[in-house]
Structure 1
Amino acid sequence: MSTAPQAPTPGERLPLRARKKLRTRQALIDTALRLFTERGFDGVTLDELCDTVEVSKRTFFRTFTSKEDVAMAPTQDMWAAFLDDLETRDPRGGTLLEMLRDALLAAIGAMTEEGWAERVRLSGRLAARTPSMDAHGLQFCDRTCRTALDTLHRRLWLTDPAAPADRAAAPGPAAAPPPDPAGGPAGPAPLADLRPRLALDLLIAVFHRALENWTATPGSPTRDDLAALVREAYDAVPGSLTLRPAPRDPAGA
C-alpha cells in the first residue's frame, strides 16, 4: 500500500532531500491528473508522464506502483492519515462506528495541502470512467480495511456491552479448527466476529456516498464541504437500517 510521506509538524523543517522528494511526488500527481483529464487515462503512457515531469521511471517506482496509484494518491493519502489516526485515537466514550467516523473526519481535516480538494475531485471523475482505476480502488480499499482491522484488534477490546462480562470476546488468535475424524484436512476455522469489519464497511459506504455527492457539487466544494457530507451520510445510517418498504398504491401513483 502506498502511503503519503509524513508532512512536517508545526515548527519542523524537513531536510532538503525530503523536501525534494515531496516536490517530485506532488509534481507527478498534479501532472498525471492534468494529462489523464485532458487525454484520458489510457491516452498517456508512463514514459510520457515521467518525461513531462523530467524524472526517470526508476524515480517514479520509488513512490508509486502504477499509473492508477499516482492518479488515486490524493484519496489514498487521506486513508493513510485515517490509519495513522486509528493508532492513537482514544476509543472510550462511544461506539466503534463513532470512533471510525471521528478518525475519518480527522483524516479529512488533516488534508491541509493547497489544492487537495480539487485533486480528489479530478481523481474521482477519472476513476468513474476508468475500469482499471476502479479495480485499483477496490484493492486499496480491501488492504486499508485489513490494516484497520489489524490495528483495532491489536489496540482494543472489541466487546458487546450488553453481554455478560464472562462472555465478552477477548482479543487474540482464532481457535484452531478441529481435526477431521477421518484423518483428512482440518475443517474450516470458526467464523471471526463480523461486527468490526461490517462497521468498517459501513464507514466506507458512508464516505463513498458523501464523495459522490461532493464530486457532483457545482463550483469548487471544499474539504469542509466533504466533511459535512460525511456527517450527513453517517447520520442517515440508523434510518437506513430501520427503513421499511411497502408497495405503492397503483391508484395513487
Structure 2
Amino acid sequence: MTSAPPLRERKKQRTRQALIDAALHLFGSRGFGGVTLDELCEEVEVSKRTFFRYFAGKEDVAMAPLQDMWRAFLVELETIPADGRPLVELMQAALLGALERVADEAWAGRAALSYRLSQETSTMDAYNLHFCESTMRSVVEVLHRRLDLLGDRRTRLAGDMLVAAWRVAVGEWVAEAGERPSVPALADRVRDAVAALPGSLALTATPQPEER
C-alpha cells in the first residue's frame, strides 16, 4: 500500500491547487489581463513570495494542469518497457499512462479551462510553445538514453508527431466537451489522432475539381 504524503507536503499540494483553481476561475471570468498577481494572491490569502515558491508567473499557474500531465508523461517514459513496438505507439502508451496518473474529473475541467485560456491569450500561447519545446528536448534525451536511437533525428520527428496529434485531440475534446469534459473522452481522442498519423503522411495534394 502506498503511504500518504507527509502533512507538510499535503499542505503544499493544497496551496498549489488552490492557486491553480483561483487563477482559472478569475482568468476565466475576468480575462487573463484583467487579473493582477496581487489580486490572485489575495483571493487565496497567500503572499506573492509564497506564490513564487510554486509558479514562475501568471502564465505558469494558468497552464499548470496541462503541464502537470506532460511532466507525468516524462516520468512514464522513464519506466515504460522498451518492447520493440513503434516509437509513436510507445509514446502514446506513455501519454495515456500520464493521463491515468494525474487525471480525474476535476483535472479534466481544469485542463479544459487552461486550454481555452491559452487559445484566447497570446502570452499564454507563447508560454505554452516554449514549455512544449523544452519538454520535447527532455523527451528526446530520455529516449536517446534508454533506447538505441542516439543521433537519430527521427526520434524528434516522432515526438513532434505525437505533440501534433495531442494538439488536435485536445482541441477537438474541448470543442465537444461543453461543461462536462471527461478524461476517457480525451484518451479516446488521443488514440484516434495518433491512429490518423500514418494516413496524414500519405495524403496526396489533389486539386479541387473545377466547378462546372
- TM-score bucket of the superposed structures, by smaller chain: over 0.9
Over the residues paired in the alignment, what is the CA RMSD in angstroms? 1.2
Classify 1:243/1:212 alpha carbon distance in 2 versus 1 (closer, same or farther; 3 Å).
same
Question: Could you tell me how far apart the structure 1 residues matched to 2:179 and 2:82 are?
Answer: 37
1:96 aligns with 2:96: no
Work out which of the two has the higher radius of gyration on C-alpha atoms and give 1 or 2.
1
Greater RCO structure (CA 8 Å; 6+ sep):
2
Query: How far 1:195 moved relative to its partner?
Result: 0.4
| Percentage of pairs with the same residue | 53
Q: String of CA shifts for 1:187-238, please: whole Å, max 9, x gaps.
A: xxxxx53200000000000000000000001341300100000000111111
Distance 1:215 1:74 in 2: 14
- Size of the alignment, in residue pairs? 211
TM-score (norm 1): 0.81
- In structure 2, C-alpha distance between the alignment counterparts of 1:243 and 1:114, rounded to whole Å: 36
Q: Does structure 1 conserve the Cα–Cα contact (< 8 Å) formed by 2:104 and 2:183?
A: no
Distance in 1 between the 2:99 and 2:167 partners? 13
Pick aligned residue for 1:240 from 200, 203, 206: 200
Give distance in 1, aligned partners of 2:61 and 2:208.
Answer: 47
1:248 shift after superposition: 2.2
User: 1 or 2, which has the higher helix percentage?
Assistant: 2
SS at match of 2:79: coil
Give the CA deviation at 1:243: 1.1
- For structure 2, the 5+ residue unaligned runs are none
Indicate the residue corresponding to 1:200 in structure 2. Answer: 159
Stretch of structure 1 that moved more, 69-78 or 240-249: 240-249
For residues 97-119 of structure 1, the C-alpha deviation after alignment (integer angstroms, 9 at most, x for no partner) is 11111111111121244510000
The equivalent residue for 1:80 is 71
Tell me which amino acid in the other structure corresponds to 1:216: A
SS of residue in 1 equivalent to 2:204: coil
Q: What residue is the counterpart of 2:127 in the other structure?
A: 136
Describe the superposition over 1:79-104 as per-residue Cα deviations: whole angstroms up to 9, x where unpaired: 00000001111111301111111111
Which structure 1 residue ranges, 4+ long, deviate > 6 Å from structure 2?
none
Q: 1:216 aligns with which of 159, 168, 175?
A: 175
Distance 1:144 1:237, change over 3 A: same
Aligned residue identity for 1:156: L
TM-score relative to the length of structure 2: 0.96
The alpha carbon displacement at 1:15 in A equals: 1.0
Return the alpha-carbon distance in structure 2 between the equivalents of residues 93 and 155 of structure 1: 12
SS at match of 2:173: helix
Structure 1 residue ranges without an equivalent (≥5): 1-9, 159-170, 172-191
| Aligned counterpart, 2:210 | 250
Corresponding position: 1:53 with 2:13 = no
